[in-house]
Each structure stands twice: as C-alpha cells, then as structure tokens.
Amino acid sequence: MLIRLAIRDVVLIEALDLDFSSGLGALTGETGAGKSILLDSLGLALGARADSGLVRHGAPQAVVTASFDAGDDAAIAALLAENGLEGEPGEPLIVRRIVKADGGSRASINDQPVSAALLREVGGRLVEIHGQHDDRGLLNARGHRALLDAFGRFDLTSVAQAHARWRAAEAALETARADLETAERDREWLEHAVGELAALAPEPGEEEALASERSAMQKGARLAEDLSGVTAHLDGSDGALAGLRQAARRLDRIAHEHEALATALAALDRAVIEASEAEDALTAAGRAMAFDPERLDRIETRLFDLRGLARKHRVQPEELPALTEELSGRLARMAAGSEGLAALEKAVATARKAYETEAAALSEARAEAALRLDKAVAAELAPLKLDAARFRTAIERRPEAQWGAEGRDRVEFLISTNPGAPFAPLVKIASGGELSRFILALKVALAEAAGARTMIFDEIDRGVGGAVASAIGERLARLADKAQLLVVTHSPQVAARAARQLLIAKSHDGIVTRTGVRLLDEAERREEIARMLSGAEVTDEARAQAGKLLAA
C-alpha cells in the first residue's frame, strides 16, 4: 500500500508531500491542473522512463520518493532478497528516482542503488496503473493464465511435481543413452582395461603396505652387519649376557656375607633383566627387518606394476580398486544396456502419463473456471454501458515443447465490442473509454485474485455520466475493500464514493506557476463536487446535489 509520496521539482510541482491511506481516494481538479504530473511522478518512482523534460525549469534535478507498506507479500520479499535488498521487518519499502536536468538518472530501493529495470519490476508488483493507453497489467496476455488460476483458486503443486518427475526421468534416460553410446565407442578399450585391472587385482591399501615393507627390508639390509655384531656381543657362551648371568650366580652364593655384596647382586640382577630385554628387542628388530632378497624382489615388482598401471589411467595407486569397480560396472551396464534403457523408457512413459493426467485435470478445471469468469465479467458489462460487448476467456493447448510446471494451457482474455464482431485481444479493439471500463469489469470479477496492493485508475469515467458514472463509482468502492485504490476523476458520482478526496490545483504568483495538492475536508469536498456538477459557477442546487451524493 502506498503510504507517502514526496515530489521535488517535477514540472510545475516545486515541493509536495502527500500521505495516503487504505480505501478509495479520489484526485480531482480542473482540466490542466496537473493531475497527469502527479501520476507521471509516481510512475517515475516506479521505474518509468526517465525524461529530463520532467525536471522543473531552473532546477538541477527532480526527485520522487514513494514509501510503501509491502505487508507480507512473499513475491516482493523474494525479489528483494534475490537482489540483496532485504529490509527491516515492519519498516516501509522506500523507492526513489532522481532525474537530472542533463538527462542522467539514478534509482534506489531502501537507499541502495538499483537498476531502472529492477525498480520497474518491483514497482509493477507494488502498484497497478490503469489508464486509457495502458498496455500492461490485465492487458498483457502473459499474465492471464495466472489470473485465471488465482480466480479458480488452483493449487498447481501436483502438476509441478509431476512435471519435475517427468523431466527428471527424461534426463536420466538421456544420460543413460549418452553413457551407452560412449561405452559402445570405447568397448574394446574398456574390455582391455578391465582385463588388465582384473589380472593385477589391486587391493585397498596394498601399495602403501608394500612400500612400508620394502622400506623396512632395505633398512634391514643396511643394518644387518651392525645387528649381527651387537648380537654376537650379547649371545653365546662367551657373550656379555652369559657372563652377567654367571657372575650373578657366583655372587648369589656369597651375597649374605656382606651388605655391599647383596647390593651388588641386586644391581647384577637388574642388569641381567635389562640385557635380556635388549636381546629380545634386537631379535624382534632382526625379524622385522629381515632381509629376504626374493621377497624384496617380488615386492618391488608388484609396486612397479601397481604404479605403472596407475600412471596409465592417470589415478593414484590407492584409487586402482575403485577404478576397477567403476570400469567393470560400465562394462556390465553395457552388456545390460538395452534392458536398462527399456526400463528407463518405461519410467519416462509412466511419468509423462502421470503429468498428462494432472495437466488434463487442471485444464478441465480451468475451462470450468473460465465459464464462471466469463459470466462474472458479463454481469459487470451492462451497468458500465458495455451491454453490446462480449467477453471470453480463451484456453488453448500449447505445443508439447512449451508444457511446463503450470500445465499445458495458454490463456488469453478476448472481447467482441459489437454483435457479430470477432473476438480479439482487449487492447487491440477497445476504445479509450471502453478499455478502462473493461479493465474495471475484469478487476471486479477478479477481486479475489492476486494483484497489486495499490491500484490507480486514470480517468476511467471519461465520456460517461449519470448511471454509468454511478456504477463505476460503486465498483471502485467495492474494489477498495480488497486493496488501496486511487482514481483520477472528473465525475462527481465517482468522487463522492471516495473515502478521501485530494484537490489538484494550479496557482500563480505573477512569476511562477505551481501545481499543489491538498486534502479536502467535508465542506470543501461538497464545494468541489458541486463545482464538478455545475461547472464554473457553483449553484445552491449543485451544492444540494453534492450533499446528496456524499450522503449516499
């Protein structure tokens, strides 16, 4: 909802700050007072083309700032988040446009610079502006399907999910076909590679274990002479360990004769124990680093084969077991390729049928909703002096290449303005006044459907009066129960329906002409509506009639 509009130096507007509220607001004033300037200013803030001609004469730049309450609009929140423009919860959304007199322009959202294209996209979600030359909004056929779905309250989740499953099945089939074609081209190489790997039969962790064993053997070969010498000093009847044990036995016989002998015996016992441990450790080291030339030769041959095959396939040696499994799997799938493809083709057919079932049900529901929408719009045409016109929601099936998550249908709103005339797109055959009233009829019929929270109708009542103007005012007021509405009007019947009325007027101080806008109180509203009824000279009868319109 539009909360505030601040305009600086736009054409005849020097400085203007306007506050807005919910419901129906009317903007009135004499022809040429500047109502179009106000709408052009708002359009500029919403991303319209920047025209340096909008800059007030003598001013360096024009600035328009609009503040909105976006509420819990998920689409706007997602669009802002996608572009890194998240605002604070509960804070207004502020859009700003600056146009310089030399033609340059800048745009921002929440004081962060953005492109004019993004400003236009956000602005389109915030405000719908419907005028006699409008070619967007309801007149854009690309949005008609979404409007019909919103009118019918359709949940497209099941169709979207069925479409996703169908496309996923097709992708799996295409991948399998490509893999099979590649595999067939590489069959000879694949068979040779699998045979070579199977013959070598690499095992997980094998290369690391063999390398470690070879390293230990190589160390053993270098240390064999030293180990043998150390062992010779300890082992045998003449070795150090035998001498220690013999000395301990002889000392044991006399240790009781003196305290020092007992101490010496204890030390010898400890020495025997530690020397025995050293002997055991040397034996273990010798076994671990035992040098077996034949075993070493086998290890080096195996390592050479493993590393050579790894280089050939451009992998690490430890990856050879996984490569064996992968290539064997490809060869197996090739052998069972036709059978696998048949299963995938069946899955695609099943998924397609499920999607078509969901899409057909949606198409049927859309056809029923289209009849209801046509009837609802038809009911609004006669009161709006369009009783000769006919409205039709056309639904046609799109080519299969265009089927999507939203179904198979193309939807477009068509009209025939005269009996016997063919149906055609609304924008192509309706005149200015008819176009605005058709838009109003559609909006009333689609009142519950999704749309912007703020709608602006520019002179929708041009060329009509009396009962038709009253019908327009009644429908605008009805729409205002669902969204914020602003209407630029010359019709007293429409203005009287508004909850608030803003008067747009020019003033001249002898040098500069300015456009101003002010909120009217009840007495001023009655006087303005009386002027709209009677023209230049406001009569008592016009004031009385204005009072009746306001009271009604």
Tens digit of each residue's pLDDT (9 = 90 or more) over 421-455: 889 887 676 566 677 788 888 888 887 555 667 88
Strand boundaries in 433-546, DSSP class E: 454-458, 484-488, 500-508, 513-519
pTM of the entire predicted model = 0.61
DSSP class of residue 407 equals B
Mean pLDDT to the nearest integer, 61-83? 87
Confidence of residue 94 (pLDDT cuts 50, 70, 90): very high
Q: Which amino acid belongs to residue 343?
A: A
Q: Is the pLDDT of residue 267 over 70?
A: yes
Percent of the chain with pLDDT over 90: 37
Percent of the chain with pLDDT over 70: 91
Q: How far apart are CA 379 and CA 442, in angstroms?
A: 10
Q: How far apart are CA 500 and CA 498, in angstroms?
A: 5
Q: How far apart are CA 506 and CA 504, in angstroms?
A: 7
First to last CA, the chain: 27
Contact 150, 406 (CB under 8 A): no
Contact 3, 19 (CB under 8 A): yes
Confidence of residue 87 (pLDDT cuts 50, 70, 90): low
Mean pLDDT to the nearest integer, 99-107? 91
The pLDDT value given to residue 229? 64
Q: Which residue is listed with tokens 């063919």?
A: 422
DSSP class of residue 257 equals G
How many residues does the structure list for the chain?
Answer: 552
What are 253's two structure tokens?
Answer: 């016989």
Higher-confidence residue of 340 and 5: namely 5
Confidence of residue 233 (pLDDT cuts 50, 70, 90): low
Contact 105, 99 (CB under 8 A): yes
Confidence of residue 462 (pLDDT cuts 50, 70, 90): confident
Confidence of residue 459 (pLDDT cuts 50, 70, 90): confident
Q: What rounded mean pLDDT belongs to the chain? A: 85
Mean pLDDT to the nearest integer, 411-429? 84
The pLDDT value given to residue 386? 85
Higher-confidence residue of 512 and 165: namely 165
Instruction: Report if residue 127 sits inside a domain.
Output: no
Number of Cβ atoms within 10 Å of the Cβ of 23:
15
Instruction: Report if residue 257 sits inside a domain.
Output: yes
Instruction: Report if residue 345 sits inside a domain.
Output: no
CB neighbours of 528 closer than 8 A, spacing ≥ 6?
A: 28, 495, 501, 503, 520
Q: How far apart are CA 387 and CA 478, in angstroms?
A: 21
Backbone angles phi, psi at 510, to 5 degrees: 95, -15
Which among 451-455, 458-462, 486-490, 535-539 has the top mean pLDDT? Answer: 486-490
Number of Cβ atoms within 10 Å of the Cβ of 129:
21
Tens digit of each residue's pLDDT (9 = 90 or more) over 351-391: 999 999 999 999 999 999 999 999 999 998 888 888 888 99
Contact 481, 19 (CB under 8 A): no
Beta-ladder partners of 94: 67
Q: Smallest Cα–Cα separation from 9: which of 49, 53, 39, 43?
A: 53
Q: Smallest Cα–Cα separation from 377: which of 326, 318, 446, 297?
A: 446
Mean pLDDT to the nearest integer, 272-276? 85
Contact 426, 415 (CB under 8 A): yes
Q: Helices (H) and strands (E) in the chain — how many of each?
A: 18, 15
Q: How far is CA 509 from CA 60, 170, 458, in A?
A: 22, 74, 29
Q: How many CA atoms lie within 13 A of 225 on its CB side?
A: 1
Contact 405, 394 (CB under 8 A): no
Strands 484-488 and 13-19, by their bridges, are: unpaired
Instruction: Report if residue 258 sits inside a domain.
Output: yes
Q: Is the pLDDT of residue 550 over 80?
A: yes
* Helix runs in 289-408, H state only: 293-312, 320-335, 337-381
Range of the domain at 327: 187-335
Mean pLDDT to the nearest integer, 124-152? 78
Q: How many structural domains is the chain composed of?
A: 1
- The 3 state secondary structure assigned to 183-240 is HHHCHHHHHHHHHHHHHHCCCCCHHHHHHHHHHHHHHHHHHHHHHHHHHHHHCCCCCH
- Judged by average pLDDT, the poorest of 244-248, 472-476, 494-498 is 244-248
Q: Which residue is listed with tokens 């502020």?
A: 94
Q: Is the pLDDT of residue 457 over 90?
A: no
Q: Smallest Cα–Cα separation from 49: which of 126, 107, 131?
A: 107
> In a 3-state reduction of DSSP, which class is residue 529?
helix
The pLDDT value given to residue 289? 64
Q: Is the pLDDT of residue 513 over 70?
A: yes
Instruction: Report if residue 530 sits inside a domain.
Output: no
Instruction: Report if residue 413 sits inside a domain.
Output: no
Confidence of residue 135 (pLDDT cuts 50, 70, 90): very low
Q: What is the DSSP string of 269-290?
A: HHHHHHHHHHHHHHHHHHHHT-
